[in-house]
Structure formats: C-alpha cells, structure tokens
Amino acid sequence: MSGDFAYLGLAEAAELIRAKRLSPVEYVTGLLARIERYDGKYNAFIALTPERALTAARAAEAEIAAGRWRGPFHGMPYALKDIIDVEGLATTAHSKILMGNIAGRHAVVTERLEAAGGVLLGKLSTHEFAIGGPSFDLPWPPARNPWSRDHFCGGSSSGSGAGLAAGFFPAALGTDTGGSIRNPASMCGITGMKPTYGRVSRRGVAPLAFSLDHIGPMTRTVRDNALMLQVIAGHDPGDPGSADEPVSDYSATLDQGVRGRRIGVIRHFYTRDVPGHPEQVEALDAAVKLLAEAGAEISEITLPALQDFGACGQIILAAEAYAVHEQWLKERPQDYGARARERLLAGATLRAVDYLQAVRWRLQLRHRVAAAFANIDLAVTASSMDPACRIDDDEALATNYWRQARMPFNVTGQPGLVIPAGYSKGGLPLSLQLVGHPFGEAMLYRVAQFYEDATGWTKHHPPELSD
C-alpha cells in the first residue's frame, strides 16, 4: 500500500473515493501503517488517533455507499498542528505548560474539515507555542526533515511539513505568524499557503500574535492546496480579525496558464537585502525565465528593504506574544523550553511607544507595498534564502529566522504561497514564493499550477521513504 498510496494527492484520492475505487478505510489503514513504520525517525506526530480515524473512515465509506457525497474532502485523511483544537483531544502546543489541556470544542477550521468529511489522523509536532524550536528540552522531540533527518524541517508548522514530505497524509493545517507555514514548505519541498489575513478563522487556535496570526493549508501539490483552502475559507463572526469577503472558487482558473499575467519580481530581497545561497538564487532566476518564456509580462519591483519589514514585524510579534504569555512566564517560567522562554521574554522590555511606533510603521509599509503592486497581478520572490541547515547547528538555526522573505507579508497581510523550485546539489529542497493582492489567492494558485506542471518538482519524494 505505502508505495501506491503514500504520495497519492488529495484531488486524485477524492475522485477514486467518489468512484468507489478506493476505500477510505483502506486508505486510512495504509497511511496508519506507514506512520507506524517511519514516524519514529521523523517525529511528525505528537498524538496519533487511529481508533478515531478508522471510525471516521468507516462512517465516510458508509455515506458513499448510501449515495451521499460531501465533496472532495469526503473520506480524506488529514492532520492538525497541535495548537488547533479538536474536541476531546489535548491541545498541547508542544509544551509542558499545556500538557493535559483537553479541548472542549473544535476550532472553526476543525469544524469545517470534519463537516466536509475529513478523517483526522492526529495532532502534529510544532515549535513550542509556535515560537520556540526546534527544541530538545520539551516533552516531545522536534520533527525531522524527511529529505535528511539531520537537517531542519522548518517551523513552526514542523510536523505538518515533515509528515507531508514523508507521505503520511495528503493534507494538513499549519499557522503562520512570521512564516511558519512557508518555512516548512520551503525546507520540506511541499506547498504551503498563508492566505490573506482574515481569510481563515483563527477561533480555537492558540494565539501567538493577534495581528500577525494566519491559518492555512499545507499539501504536496497546488491543486490539493486550493481544494483544502476552499473547505476552510470564509467569514467567522466569532473571530474579530475575520474578513467578511466572498470566497473565490480557487480551482476555477488553475489550468489557464500565465500568458499575459503581469508578474513583479522582488529581486532585491534575495540579491541585495539578504543575498541568497547561489543555488537558491539560480532556482529563482530559472523560475522567472520560465514564466517569461510562457508569456508572462515580467518586471522588477522595489519594496522597502527586507530588514525594515523584519524589524517592524518582530517588534509587533514580541509585544503581542508577551501579552499572551505574561502570566505563565511569571508563574511557570521553568516549564517553558529554553528557546521559547528566551524568545517570549524579548517582549517584556518593550515599551508601549515601541509597539505603537511599529504599528504606525506597519501602515506606512503597507501603503508602499500597495503602490508597488498597483500595476502587477502578483509577485515572485524568495521564501528561504538557503536550503535546510543541520538541526543541531545552533548558529545556522539562528540565522534561518532572518535569512528569509516571509515576514513582509505577515506585516502586510497579503497572501503568500510557497512551492518547490528544485533541489540543491546536496539533495535538499529549494523553493519560491508567490505573493498576491489581498484575497488574490486564486491568482497565486493559477501561476503556481502552471509552474508545477512545467517543472514536475512535486513528483520528487525523499529517497529514504520511497518503497
């Protein structure tokens, strides 16, 4: 089974299930066996829920037999980053602080996935409270990169990225406050979308920084990502940051290509502001050339320096995260891992004026970005500046958090989609990031689908896990 189904895409599996050529029970059973076989090396899961999954798979199969079809997520295995609530299961945030914290109800995104017929396999590793990691002083070990277990798999949605690359499930959810969906997407060679701020409800998800937090889908392919966002997107009046905007049909234009699309290249981010690894820059240049040859109208655009976005975003993140954690940091500091404690305490010394100036600066940055995007449909830039570093290299891990171009689009709230863009000479994934107008996710998917089809990068899988 594992050789046949492990890397089966959500869209393809949905058609097989609907046509009764694939049993949801068979699918889930096979994936659970694969997880049992391999996850001891990669630590994608904090908690596996096999009985729950098999019960849900049987129910999905019975509905199909009775002629009831909920849509392309019906009978589909998925997993959740363990800061997202599932009624009756612990939400630990990978921390001793929340061990035994049983959720009383589903998060809104969980409700939507369950209503669509999803089959939950379990809860996934994260950096502690989506900020402190990778850490070896927590109740659970950090997730490992399936392309090389000695290398970083990205974070903080680390288990989501690792599990997808390992063929454990076709779909997962992550969260992104300063790049935490797009970083593991870059490191693990998968597809990760940070939607527009407010596009997906955050109710029932442990907060990190209220004005920067996003929830988004993580999959192996673009089409699967579009299908998953379709399920979870939409207004939630219970989330004060939720946007009451119409939800697009994200799959409608996937096959329309890039001819005539106006694509801006934010090249200074990865050639001047934070010069990228030569292999990563070469991959980005090749992607831009491919888009141009296919008829896209390419132009370079200039935004404020990457360092400006980083400084602004980090002040806001530090202040808001400290506000969330202040009481626990005062009462239970010893129960945090060292990395999370250090990063969260950075907010303790910030003054109100520092935060307010950063909020004002954010508005100025947003205005300048909007002006730069006025005459383009979307932009291309880097996500990570380097392939994955070793997980035990503290110096390289520290630089990973500033050698990236993800924070700008948490500051602006625009959608950012990261997709695979090849592999380094060492066999580690490279990536690119597409950035759109607010609520312009459909355009990102359209261009990303063209690139995926033209390159075939998503057909590559970690050699150690290919049976």
- List the catalytic residues: 81, 156, 180
Backbone angles phi, psi at 297, to 5 degrees: -90, 110
Q: Which sign does the torsion angle of CA 171, 176, 182, 184 carry?
A: negative
* DSSP states of 146-200: TTBTTB---SSSHHHHHHHHTTS-SEEEEEESSSTTHHHHHHHT-EEEE--TTSB
User: Which tokens belong to 50?
Assistant: 């096999």
Q: Which helix (H) or strand (E) holds 419?
A: strand 416-423
Angle at 444 between CA 249 and CA 372, to 5 degrees: 125
- Please state, in angstroms and rounded to a whole number, the distance separating the CA atoms of residues 338 and 131: 11
Query: How does strand 77-81 pair with strand 191-194?
Result: unpaired
Place of tokens 């312009």: 440
- List C-alpha distances in Å: 221 to 12, 217, 227, 364, 393: 11, 11, 10, 35, 30
The rounded distance, in Å, linking the Cα atoms of 359 and 406 is 18
Distance from C-alpha of 345 to C-alpha of 435, rounded to nearest angstrom: 32
Among 380, 225, 226, 372, smallest CA distance to 291 is for 380
| Residue 3: count of CB within 10 angstroms of its CB | 11
Please, are residues 79 and 120 in contact by the beta-carbon 8 Å criterion?
yes
Concatenating the DSSP letter of every residue in 323-376 gives HHHHHHHHH-GGGS-HHHHHHHHGGGG--HHHHHHHHHHHHHHHHHHHHHTTT-
Say which residue the tokens 């530090």 belong to: 318
